Amino acid sequence: ATRGQLIEVDAEGKLTSIERPNGEVIMKAKKLPNGEIALITQLGTTRFVLLRANGQEIRSFNVDLRYSGGRIDVLPNGNLLLPEAGANRVVELDKLGDVVWEVAAEQPIGAVRLPNGHTLITSMSEHRAVEVDRDGKEVWQYRQDTRVTRAFRR
């Protein structure tokens, strides 16, 4: 993903690209296992956008996301896990954009749902990754002297 387009290269080296309309800036992108593409875009407002593989928009809704780059986590049920740094929380949004789960987190920059159902969160200001359970209880952390922007845990 670049700021203005998505580029995919297949195993034979064939390029496919999708450009966003009206100068929309791509902040985050991920190809989903079913071939659909999840994006966070910005043009005045910041939106979650779900596309078919051909670039046709399926659905979208406004989100509160402040940082480009990093991961976007779309859960197997189609919900979106979103780090809302400005609100100091991580939210799980359903297919309509309604909050179905949230946990407080100091300036979260990334959030991924782990296979055990816990959520792994990285913080812009706390220089750490933290794993929380569904009740928001911290069960693990990793600290560093510098910003931790991405973390993975099995």
- For residue 107, what pLDDT is reported? 92
- C-alpha to C-alpha distances, 9 to 6, 15, 17, 48, nearest whole angstrom: 10, 5, 9, 24
Rounded to two decimals, the pTM is 0.92
**Can you tell me the mean pLDDT for 77-105?**
96
- For residue 30, what pLDDT is reported? 93
The span from the CA of 42 to the CA of 66, in Å, is 10
Strand partners, 142: 129
The span from the CA of 56 to the CA of 21, in Å, is 11
Cβ–Cβ < 8 Å for 107, 122 = no
